């Protein structure tokens, strides 16, 4: 099963309407995304909790890393640069942090509130190589803007 971003976005919007708590929003988004696509082996948020520090937030899947500095890994790169990270082969990514040995590819998107502040990153791992495309980046970005842009 492959995700239908428009339909999943509509479902997430209806579930999160009126909610302003970041963690509640993250938990709902992660649950819906994780169960919408068989490629998604680990789906979760890392929250900005201090200057240049990400800490684990709501997630689905096996254990994640607890703390990731902006200076390390794919999640750190997304937070540091503000750009989507599409990684076809995590073993080829310089400084990749192996939170799970089964991860082959990854997409990480920065998450901004409506005022522009970075509140975290959305990290989706796959046990398949080259699992993610620009279409995934666009679909996921639209959902994140819709949900977190109203904060």
Q: Which pLDDT value is given to residue 63?
A: 87
Q: Is the pTM of this model over 0.75?
A: yes
How many C-beta atoms surround the C-beta of residue 100 within 10 A?
15
The pLDDT-based confidence of 93 (bands split at 50, 70, 90) is confident
The alpha helices in the chain, defined as continuous H runs, are: 5-16, 22-34, 73-81, 134-148
- What is the reported pLDDT for 96? 65
Give the mean pLDDT of 46-60.
Answer: 97
Q: CATH number, domain at 137?
A: 3.30.450.40
Whole-number average pLDDT of the chain: 94
pLDDT given for residue 119 in this prediction: 97
- pLDDT of residue 1 exceeding 90: no
User: Distance (Å, rounded) from C-alpha 108 to C-alpha 115?
Assistant: 21
Q: How far, in Å, CA of 118 to CA of 108, rounded?
A: 13
Q: How many domains does the chain have?
A: 1
CA distance 139 to 125: 16
- Using CA atoms, how far apart are residues 100 and 133, in angstroms rounded to an integer? 21
Of the chain, the percentage scoring pLDDT greater than 70 comes to: 95
Residue-range definition of the domain harbouring residue 36: 5-148
């Amino acid at each position: 099963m492959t995700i239908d971003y428009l339909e999943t976005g509509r479902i997430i919007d209806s579930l999160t309407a009126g909610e302003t708590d970041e963690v509640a929003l993250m938990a709902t988004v992660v649950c819906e995304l994780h169960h919408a696509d068989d490629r998604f082996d680990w789906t979760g948020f890392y929250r900005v909790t201090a200057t240049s520090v990400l800490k684990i937030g709501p997630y689905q899947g096996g254990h994640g890393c607890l703390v990731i500095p902006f200076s390390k890994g794919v999640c750190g790169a997304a937070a540091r640069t503000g750009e989507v990270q599409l990684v076809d082969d995590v073993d080829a990514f310089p400084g990749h942090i192996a939170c799970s040995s089964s991860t082959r590819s990854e997409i990480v998107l920065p998450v901004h509130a409506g005022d522009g502040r970075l509140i975290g990153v959305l990290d989706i791992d796959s046990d398949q190589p080259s699992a993610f495309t620009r279409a995934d980046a666009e679909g996921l970005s639209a959902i994140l803007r819709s949900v977190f842009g109203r904060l």
